[in-house]
């Protein structure tokens, strides 16, 4: 029997909780759904969340990629440019993975990918 999952949260350490909040809430427009003082959780979709917790020893060169999937990559790029946030790379088509995407760098050094699957096998759920 498969157990039901109600939601998903990925937590990441940050050395700058306020700067991180400004990026995810103000620039990306993700609503903060819970402020626990040293941890803040943002809604990415109805059941998917991104959390950040203040840590003195946060990684200085994180290798994680936070990917937000959308049909409107160019709309995101335009909206972020209007807020003064430029992509680190893209938008561009990646033939290897059959995706169209752009990359941004958050205040912690994490890559934030805005991505659209071109692969027809992608189950949009």
pLDDT digit string, tens, across residues 29-74? 999 999 999 999 999 999 999 999 998 877 777 788 999 999 999 9
CATH number of the structural domain spanning residue 65: 3.10.180.10
* SS3 (DSSP) at 20: helix
The count of structural domains within the chain is 1
111-117 and 65-69 strand pairing: parallel
Domain that holds residue 21: 8-117
State the Cα–Cα distance between residues 32 and 54, nearest whole angstrom.
15
- Residues 92-122 have pLDDT tens digits of 999 999 999 999 999 988 999 999 999 888 8
Residue 122 located in a structural domain: no
């Amino acid at each position: 029997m498969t157990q039901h999952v109600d939601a998903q949260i990925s937590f990441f350490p940050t050395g700058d909780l306020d700067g991180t909040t400004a990026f995810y809430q103000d620039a990306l427009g993700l609503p903060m759904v819970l402020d626990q003082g040293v941890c803040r959780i943002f809604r990415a979709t109805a059941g998917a969340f991104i959390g950040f917790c203040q840590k003195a020893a946060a990684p200085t060169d994180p290798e994680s990629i936070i990917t937000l999937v959308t049909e409107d990559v160019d709309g995101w790029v335009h909206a972020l440019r209007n807020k003064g946030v430029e992509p680190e790379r893209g938008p561009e088509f990646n033939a290897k993975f059959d995706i169209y995407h752009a990359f941004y760098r958050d205040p912690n050094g994490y890559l934030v990918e805005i991505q659209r699957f071109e692969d027809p096998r992608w189950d949009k759920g």
